[in-house]
């Protein structure tokens, strides 16, 4: 029995020791995991902080370190915020390097992650920066929608500074798309929020954007005022780097005013400050602009040095737009000096860079410069090819500011008719009021007579009968008036419909005549091409010259202006009506509405207004938006009812 008891105790001790060993192993595994997570966290933070410190000076290395940090799987699974902030910084670096496609991929990934995890802070950031990517690519409609979504989230999480930043981006994009009114509203709201937050840096940035808006509208006086205010605020911050852009902007205004002395003064000041703070973008920008002023002053050597310096920095920053612009300026500088081979080389390089970005404004100017260089060489064939490419680039550009309303025409007879109609309505209202007053007076007398008692019953009965008779007569008269007014309304509508139909046919005929003439010239130009391919005796150069002359006369600007004046005169009542009902519409949008009302197609409208058909679609979208119309409402039919 004693031996059995000892065996039993030994078994218990063994089982207990096994349990202790098992718990010890579990604790060791847990400790190992915690140690691994801590080590991964330290590694991630080290890589992230280092990338954040060097991304301005060595962006490529910063991106490599961020990619390494994102490859740490333990961090990604245990710390989603770490993944999001690493992606956000990586996308920001791509944007600074003008690598828009790479930035868009990163921010799309960040948007999906933050949407799934409902992290509103990083979701709004990804939407805002995706908007920047779309804006850079010229997709303004998508950029506007993304900025609006980001702003709504910022408002929801009460991020006032984020709302201000979003409004500034939205305003700048609306301005770039040609919507100056809404753009200005957003920028002014952003300015108010920045001032409330006492964010002087932000206020200066918004003021620069407002100045740019007015510069695009050619209101140089207002543009200069906002740029100067931005400069004064930047001076208060005692940060020389922030004085570069305002000085450059002020120089741009003076350059447009051909006040080259003042322009050079501000460009030189901006360049000096940029050099002192090692602000590479600022150096390249002010060097290019000051070079343009020096070129106007025929100081070719100094101008050439400025342009070459700007190109070197732009190449170092991989800033394609600045590279293309400085190459174009270098080429033109060499041409002015008579160094034709160098001029051709740099101008062609500028065209290559512009084609990579599909930058039509730069292409238009570079092809023009190239054509002039070839003409100087008497290489007419090459010059002709360059001129054609210049015109092709020019035709592809949207020209929002090309449309101008003709003066409003209104005759004295029409004014008199309106006044007469107004007087008639007043007289009718006065008669109705008198009748109502008389009716009230009769009722009062009826009540007073009843008080005299039975003796006056007979007289009262007679009075009531007479009163009822007058009421019947009054009702009958009112019915006749209502019927007459209804009949007049129907006749007036029929008359107006007939008048609109006749005027529409006349306008359509006039427009058709212009379009037929344009089509006729197109066919002539096709015939010229056919003659060239068949080897006509006229010679290709003469045929090309005829082709250019036909192109120059193809616009029919005078006929189009006459048509616009006819359109405004014939639709005067419609114009006044739509201005009353939709006072926020611009003159350009009212002009578009008048053409849509008479069923002009996008192609016809584009031909009359000298713009691209897709530009018409953009304007139609804005018009529908401002009028508050849903997708199920036919815009043309709605305008006919205005």
Q: What is the 3-state secondary structure (H, E, C) of 21-89?
A: HHHHHHHHHHHHHHHHHHHHHHHHHHHHHHHHHHCCCCHHHHHHHHHHHHCCHHHHHHCHHHHHHHHHH
User: If you ran DSSP here, which 8-state letter would residue 408 be given?
Assistant: P
- Number of Cα atoms under 13 Å in the Cβ half of residue 273: 23
d(CA 356, CA 246): 30
Helix, strand, coil tally for the chain in percent (to 5): 85, 0, 15
What is the reported pLDDT for 142? 93
User: Per-residue pLDDT for 409 more than 90?
Assistant: no
Q: How confident is the prediction for the chain on average, in pLDDT?
A: 79
Give the model's confidence band at 346: pLDDT under 50 very low, under 70 low, under 90 confident, else very high.
very high
Q: Which residue has the higher pLDDT, 155 or 475?
A: 155
d(Cα 606, Cα 602) in Å, to the nearest integer? 6
**pTM for this entry:** 0.55
- Which residue did the predictor score with more confidence, 159 or 544? 159
Contact 249, 208 (CB under 8 A): yes
Q: How many alpha carbons lie under 13 Å from residue 617 in its C-beta half-sphere?
A: 5
DSSP 98: T
* Residue 87 CA: distances (Å) to CA of 55, 114, 622: 13, 11, 35
d(CA 466, CA 452): 18
Q: How confident is the model at residue 477 (pLDDT cuts 50, 70, 90)?
A: confident
Q: pLDDT by residue (tens digit) across 271-287? A: 999 999 998 889 999 99
For the chain, the domains span 35-137, 319-397, 434-557, 571-642
**Averaged over 164-183, what is the pLDDT?**
90
Q: How far is CA 71 from CA 8, 40, 518, in A?
A: 55, 11, 62
In this predicted structure, the answer to whether residue 572 has a pLDDT above a threshold of 90 is no
Q: Is the pLDDT of residue 542 over 70?
A: no
Q: What pLDDT, on a 0 to 100 scale, did the predictor assign at position 487?
A: 76
CA atoms of 460 and 450, how far apart (whole Å) = 7
Same fold, 319-397 and 571-642: no
Weakest mean pLDDT among 276-285, 397-406, 413-422, 460-469: 397-406
Convert 469-506 to b/e letters by CB count within 10 Å (16 or more is b).
eeeeeeeeeeeeeeeeeeeeeeeeeeeeeeebeebbee
* Structure confidence at residue 604 (pLDDT): 82
**How do residues 34-56 score in pLDDT, each as one tens digit?**
565 667 777 888 888 888 898 88
Residue 227 burial by Cβ neighbours in a 10 Å radius (0-12, 13-18, 19+): buried
Q: Is the pLDDT of residue 324 over 60?
A: yes
Q: Which CATH class is domain 571-642?
A: mainly alpha
CATH topology for 35-137 is 1.25.40
Q: Say yes or no to pLDDT of 21 above 60.
A: no
Exposure string for 324-340, b = 16+ CB within 10 A, e = fewer: bbbbbbbbbbbbeeebe
pLDDT at 506: 64
Residue 373 CA to residue 387 CA, distance in Å, equals 11
Distance CA 92, CA 122 (A): 13
Q: Average pLDDT in the 499-503 region?
A: 61
Name the percent of the chain lying above pLDDT 70.
75
Top pLDDT among 586 and 519 is at 586
Q: What is the mean pLDDT of the segment spanning 124-128? A: 92
**What confidence score (pLDDT) does residue 556 get?**
60
Which DSSP helix (H) or strand (E) runs through 186? Answer: helix 180-196
The pLDDT of 516-520, averaged and rounded, is 69
Q: How far apart are CA 251 and CA 260, in angstroms?
A: 9
Residue 607: pLDDT band by 50, 70, 90 thresholds? confident
Q: How many residues belong to the chain?
A: 642
How far CA 214 is from CA of 172, 184, 209, 289, 398, in Å, comes to 12, 9, 9, 20, 18
DSSP string, 9-22: HHHHHHHHHHHHHH
Higher per-residue pLDDT: 79 or 598: 598
| 588's tokens | 């350009």
Q: Is the dihedral of CA 319, 325, 328, 333 positive or negative?
A: negative
Q: DSSP for 358-406, please give it.
A: T-HHHHHHHHHHHHHHHHHTT-HHHHHHHHHHHHHHHHHS--GGG--PP
pLDDT band at 22 (very low <50, low <70, confident <90, very high): very low
Kindly state the tokens that stand for 66: 């961020």
Q: Minimum mean pLDDT among 73-77, 130-134, 209-213: which range?
A: 73-77
The predicted structure's pLDDT at residue 157:
92
Q: How confident is the model at residue 14 (pLDDT cuts 50, 70, 90)?
A: very low
DSSP characters over 588-632: HHHHHHHHHHTT--HHHHHHHHTS-HHHHHHHHHHHHHHHT--TT
Handedness of CA 429, 434, 438, 440 (dihedral sign): positive
- Residue 289 neighbours by CB under 8 Å, 6+ apart: 248, 251, 252, 255, 263, 267
Q: What confidence score (pLDDT) does residue 253 get?
A: 94
Distance CA 144, CA 196 (A): 25
Say if residues 458 and 486 touch (Cβ distance below 8 Å): no
Poorest-confidence range of 30-34, 67-71, 338-342, 507-511? 30-34
| CATH code, residues 319-397 | 1.25.40.10
**Mean pLDDT, range 250-257, rounded to an integer:** 93
Report the C-alpha gap between 334 and 312 in whole angstroms. Answer: 17
Tell me: the pLDDT tens digits for 85-115? Answer: 888 998 999 888 778 889 999 999 989 988 9
**Can you say how many angstroms the Cα of residue 568 is from the centroid of all Cα atoms in its chain?**
28
């Amino acid at each position: 029995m004693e031996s059995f008891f000892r065996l039993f105790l030994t078994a218990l001790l063994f089982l207990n020791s096994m349990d202790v060993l098992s718990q010890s192993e579990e604790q060791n595994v847990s400790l190992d995991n915690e140690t691994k997570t801590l080590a991964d966290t330290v590694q991630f933070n080290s890589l992230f902080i280092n990338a954040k410190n060097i991304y301005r000076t060595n962006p490529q290395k910063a991106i490599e370190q961020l990619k390494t940090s994102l490859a740490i799987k333990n961090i990604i699974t245990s710390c989603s915020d770490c993944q999001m902030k690493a992606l956000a910084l990586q996308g920001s670096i791509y944007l600074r390097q003008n690598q828009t496609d790479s930035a868009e991929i990163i921010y799309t990934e960040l948007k999906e992650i933050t949407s799934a995890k409902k992290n509103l802070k990083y979701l709004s950031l990804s939407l805002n920066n995706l908007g920047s990517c779309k804006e850079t690519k010229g997709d303004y409609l998508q950029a506007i929608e993304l900025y609006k979504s980001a702003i709504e989230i910022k408002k929801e999480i009460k991020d006032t500074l984020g709302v201000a930043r979003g409004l500034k981006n939205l305003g700048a994009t609306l301005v770039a798309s040609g919507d100056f009114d809404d753009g200005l509203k957003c920028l002014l709201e952003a300015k108010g929020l920045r001032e409330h937050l006492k964010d002087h840096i932000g206020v200066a940035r918004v003021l620069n954007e407002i100045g740019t808006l007015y510069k695009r509208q050619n209101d140089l006086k207002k543009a200069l005022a906002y740029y100067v205010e931005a400069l004064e605020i930047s001076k208060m911050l005692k940060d020389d780097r922030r004085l570069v852009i305002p000085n450059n902007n002020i120089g741009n205004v003076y350059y447009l005013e051909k006040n080259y002395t003042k322009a050079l003064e501000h460009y030189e000041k901006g360049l000096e400050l940029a050099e002192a703070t090692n602000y590479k973008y600022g150096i390249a920008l002010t060097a290019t602009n000051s070079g343009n002023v020096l070129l106007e002053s025929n100081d070719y050597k100094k101008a050439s040095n400025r342009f070459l310096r700007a190109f070197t920095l732009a190449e170092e920053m991989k800033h394609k737009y600045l590279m293309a612009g400085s190459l174009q300026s270098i080429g033109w500088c060499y041409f002015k000096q008579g160094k034709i081979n160098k001029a051709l080389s740099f101008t062609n390089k500028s065209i290559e860079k512009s084609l990579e970005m599909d930058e039509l404004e730069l292409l238009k100017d570079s092809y023009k410069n190239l054509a002039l260089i070839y003409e100087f060489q008497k290489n007419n064939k090459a010059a002709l090819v360059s001129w054609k490419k210049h015109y092709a680039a020019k035709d592809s550009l949207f020209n929002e500011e090309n449309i101008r309303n003709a003066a409003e025409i209104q005759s004295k007879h029409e004014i008199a008719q309106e006044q007469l109609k107004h007087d008639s309505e007043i007289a009718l209202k006065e008669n109705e009021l008198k009748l109502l007053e008389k009716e009230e007076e009769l009722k009062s007398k009826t009540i007073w007579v009843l008080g005299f008692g039975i003796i006056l019953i007979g007289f009262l009965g007679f009075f009531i009968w007479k009163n009822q008779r007058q009421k019947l007569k009054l009702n009958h008269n009112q019915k006749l008036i209502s019927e007459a007014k209804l009949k007049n309304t129907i006749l007036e509508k029929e008359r107006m419909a007939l008048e609109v139909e006749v005027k529409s046919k006349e306008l359509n005929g006039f427009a058709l005549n212009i379009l037929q003439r344009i089509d006729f010239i197109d066919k002539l130009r096709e015939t010229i091409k056919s003659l060239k391919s068949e080897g006509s005796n006229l010679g290709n150069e003469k045929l090309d010259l005829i082709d250019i002359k036909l192109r120059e006369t193809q616009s029919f600007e005078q006929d189009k202006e006459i048509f616009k004046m006819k359109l405004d005169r014939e639709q005067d009542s419609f114009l006044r009506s739509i201005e009353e009902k939709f006072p926020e519409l611009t003159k350009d949008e009212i002009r578009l509405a008048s053409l849509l009302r008479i069923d002009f197609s996008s192609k016809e409208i584009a031909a009359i207004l000298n713009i691209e058909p897709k530009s018409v679609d953009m304007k139609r979208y804005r018009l529908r938006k401002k009028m508050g119309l849903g997708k199920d409402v036919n815009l043309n039919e709605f305008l006919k009812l205005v």
